A and B are shown apart, each in its own frame.
Chain A
């Protein structure tokens, strides 16, 4: 236990250092508004990727409807602040809980499916959520919910991201997390060992969904609008790509995947015609060299750093 606490403290110090550095660069206007925006987007994407990794990576379930929960969080948060006039922190809580409840309700029946069937069910559910929103006049229907104030800033996004990462890390190292890993490795064996597989699958799914909701609230309060077109299955695939790229089951992998893909997309913004080609090419090269993702299911830990001699930590 002590060793782990020590690691936590180190990681926290590293996070503060990274935050101070980025904040300093922003204050000195070396990082302009465009990159600031993309840093916030990176934070949001890290929350999304690592929460999806809980479901897909740790528990070994194949969910591709994450954009649906993102949408629920985005809209719920926007309703709280815009329509009901409550504060932003409440919106974050409400968005998280709403997405979590929905994840629970959806997870209960669908997680009895596995493999391809679960993938199809979650894909369908993501779309159902979007179509429902599309037809709710109260939240703007097809034209989206406009006039959302920009409440998310880099500080909030960054520290929420750190909190989510710590939560997921601790979850993975807890008894519940071990149960999830056991389910991933062999569901029947886990069942035989007395693990309530449905319970843990639903638990992981609910938690993953609620963090996607958190990301959703940040998302809609940064981009001024919650629009159904932002939550199509393409978004789900984007998140899935980050997870798979980083390595299914690796939390640090998800973080790296999210940073990398968001960064590529932003860096290539000057070459709109080439963006998708280079993006796809980078993906193919990576998958050729590392079919299991950048980190496989290993974590990027101190040990790796020590053996690589130096390098900087990313919380």
Chain B
């Protein structure tokens, strides 16, 4: 008797699972069958769960807006655009899994995303072998569009500037606009992004005749930075460059002001979050400058048009990831229009030829390494507000 009790409960549990999965498996097949000739199916491989889910979701929302606008305008050559999303759980191997699903199950013509470089690198071999172009809206690592031998990967594109570019711009801004000669650097040694920026900044800044007084390091998720900051204070810098993400940067700014470092703080697009001012405080953030691709405060009509459209749909101010997702959509749709086909190879060629395309934050052209030449901004923090200080390029 006892055995049968056990057996029946096993069977029940198994039945629950089986019914769940069977129902879902069927749904997938139907979706693929529905993808008739009247539609253009585009895949989005995004971080919808996991620790960088907010990036993936923002990116997806921007892309959805681009799709909605294109569909309202009659689609591309009368064909409506259909979006299929796949979640990569913020994890590279899952990203390869999701890309395989998009390509083989959903038969997408192109893939947008993922947001982070590691996930893009993992998905890229899958797409390249099936000759499907991919646009990574916000993957900034320089290596992802390049092969080992330095040649450009034919099917990989991005819709954001690469990391070194930001370091370059900030170094020039510090030397020419802020007119400082001595800068200290505090970087996150657990992030390639931060390390890369610090490296380029040092190179460009010393080339302009400036001096880097000290280069200190911290680890992400650190909370106490006073030891490094005190050391930095001892070198009397005129500014401090802190490329990193807002979680640590906000605390760094706060603690720097607490120990009496009043000089300008310079940073990168990882600073872009309302949390920065919330944690560090309005006062402390004054004299803070960082590089970014976009700000909702920009008075440029193209930017404002985008911000309004996004707010109407999602009822919140768009961040940079959503803007890059939106741009990726515009780039792709423009390429499908000019290529007049959804054949992967021809589509990739058309994307590479994108020139002076009007996107949300200016004009966009691809260089030979599939990096867009586009607008960069210097944002200044004033009384807790992010204001546009300078616009470069675009």
| Residues in A lying within 8 Å of B, measured CB to CB | 32-34, 37-38, 41, 131, 134-135, 141-144, 146-147, 150, 219, 223-225, 227, 229-230, 234, 260, 263-264, 266-273, 275-276, 278, 282, 285-286, 289-290, 294, 307-308
* A33 proximity list for chain B (CB < 8 A): 100, 103-104
- Asked if B27 is at the interface of the complex by the 8 Å CB criterion, the answer is yes
* B contact residues around A227 at 8 Å (CB): 92-93, 118, 121-122
Other-chain residue from A135, A225, A285 in contact with B13 (beta carbon distance below 8 A): A285
* A134 touching B190 in the complex, CB below 8 Å, given contacts A34-B101, A272-B49, A272-B86: yes
Which residues of A sit under 8 angstroms from B101, Cβ to Cβ? 34, 269-270
CB pair B190–A224 under 8 Å, yes or no, is: no
- From known contacts A227-B118, A264-B20, A270-B27, infer whether A290 and B13 are also in contact, taking CB-CB under 8 Å: yes
Report whether B105 and A32 are in contact in the complex, using a CB–CB cutoff of 8 Å.
Answer: yes
DSSP class of B's interface residues: helix, strand, loop or mixed? helix
Is B24 in contact with A282, judged by CB distance below 8 angstroms?
A: no
Contact A307 B104 (CB under 8 A): no
Taken together as a complex, chains A and B put the C-alpha atoms of A144 and B91 apart, in Å, by 12
Minimum distance in angstroms from A314 CB to a CB of chain B: 13
In the complex, are the beta carbons of B105 and A223 less than 8 A apart?
no
The reply to whether A223 and B96 contact each other, CB–CB distance below 8 Å, is yes
Q: Is the CB of A224 within 8 A of B20?
A: no
Ordered by A's residue number, 19 sampled pairs between the chains whose C-beta atoms are within 8 Å are A131-B219, A135-B190, A142-B190, A143-B118, A143-B192, A144-B121, A147-B148, A224-B121, A224-B122, A224-B124, A224-B126, A227-B93, A230-B93, A263-B21, A267-B21, A267-B24, A270-B105, A289-B13, A290-B9
**How far in angstroms is the closest Cβ of chain A from B306?**
25
Interface contact A144-B21, CB-CB below 8 Å: no
How far apart are B97's CB and chain A's nearest CB, in angstroms? 6
Inside 8 A of A290's CB, which chain B residues have their CB?
9-10, 13
Q: Interface extent on B, as a size class?
A: 35 or more
Give chain B residues whose Cβ lies under 8 Å from the Cβ of A142.
190-193, 195
Q: In this complex, which of A32, A131, A269, A289 has the most chain B Cβ atoms within 10 angstroms of its Cβ?
A: A269
Indicate if the CB atoms of A269 and B98 lie closer than 8 Å: yes
Rounded to whole angstroms, the CA-CA distance of A234 and B91 in the bound complex is 10
A272 near B20 with CB under 8 A, answer no
| A38–B16 CA distance with the chains assembled, in angstroms | 21
In contact, A223 and B122 (Cβ under 8 angstroms): yes
The 0/1 profile, CB within 8 Å of A marked 1, for residues 76-114 of chain B is 000000000111001111001110110111000000000
Are A271's CB and B92's CB within 8 A?
A: no
B16, B17, B49, B92: the one contacting A230 at CB < 8 Å is B92
Q: Once the chains are docked, how many angstroms separate the CA of A223 from the CA of B100?
A: 11
> At the interface, yes or no: B262 with Cβ under 8 Å from chain A?
no
Q: Does any Cβ of A come within 8 Å of B25's Cβ?
A: yes
Q: Is the CB of B92 within 8 A of A294?
A: no
B48 within 8 A of A: yes
A34-B104, A227-B118, A272-B48 given as contacts; is B20 within 8 A of A282 (CB)?
yes
Minimal beta-carbon separation of A293 from chain B (angstroms): 11
Contact between B96 and A267, CB atoms less than 8 A apart: no
Give the complex CA separation of A218 and B281 in angstroms. 49
Question: Which residues on the B side are within 8 Å of A278 (C-beta)?
Answer: 20, 24
Q: How many whole Å from B1's CB to the nearest CB in chain A?
A: 13
Query: Which 6 pairs show the lowest CB-CB distances between chains A and B?
Result: A272-B87, A227-B92, A223-B93, A267-B21, A142-B192, A225-B122
Which of A230, A234, A275 sits near B87, CB closer than 8 Å?
A275
In B109-159, the 8 Å CB interface with A consists of: 117-118, 121-122, 124-126, 141, 143, 148
Query: Once the chains bind, are B86 and A269 in contact (CB under 8 Å)?
Result: yes
User: Is B12 part of the binding interface, using a Cβ–Cβ cutoff of 8 Å?
Assistant: yes
Give the distance in Å from the alpha carbon of A239 to the alpha carbon of B31 in the complex: 31
The verdict on B71 contacting chain A, using a C-beta distance below 8 Å, is no
Chain B residues positioned under 8 Å from A271 (CB to CB): 24, 27
Tell me, in angstroms, the Cα distance from A311 to B39 when the chains sit together.
44
On whether the beta carbons of A229 and B16 are closer than 8 Å, the reply is no
Distance to closest chain B CB from A41 (angstroms): 7
B189 contacts partner chain A, Cβ-Cβ < 8 Å? yes
Is the pair B87, A225 in contact by a Cβ cutoff of 8 Å? no
Q: How far is the CA of A141 from the CA of B12 in the complex (A)?
A: 47
Q: Counting CB contacts under 8 A, is B274 at the interface?
A: no
Q: Which residues of A contact B118 (CB under 8 A)?
A: 143-144, 225, 227, 229
On whether A144 and B92 interact (CB within 8 A), knowing A267-B24, A270-B31, the answer reads: yes
- B7 at the A/B interface (Cβ < 8 Å)? yes
Check if B191 sits within 8 Å of A37, measured CB to CB: no
Contact residues in A for B3 (Cβ distance below 8 Å) = 307
- Chain A proximity of B7: nearest CB distance (Å): 7
Give Cα A135–Cα B9 distance, bound, in whole angstroms. Answer: 48
Whether B125 and A224, one on each chain, are in contact in the complex, defined by CB atoms closer than 8 angstroms, is: yes
Q: What residues of chain A lie closer than 8 Å to B394, measured between beta carbons?
A: none
What residues of A have a CB within 8 angstroms of the CB of B90 in the complex?
229
The chain A residue with its CB closest to the CB of B31 is A270
Which residues of B8-47 have CB atoms within 8 Å of chain A's CB atoms? 9-10, 12-13, 16-17, 20-21, 24-25, 27-28, 31
Q: Chain B residues with Cβ under 8 A from A34's Cβ?
A: 97, 100-101, 104-105
Question: Which B residues are CB-close (under 8 A) to A147?
Answer: 148
A173, B392: Cα distance in complex, Å = 71
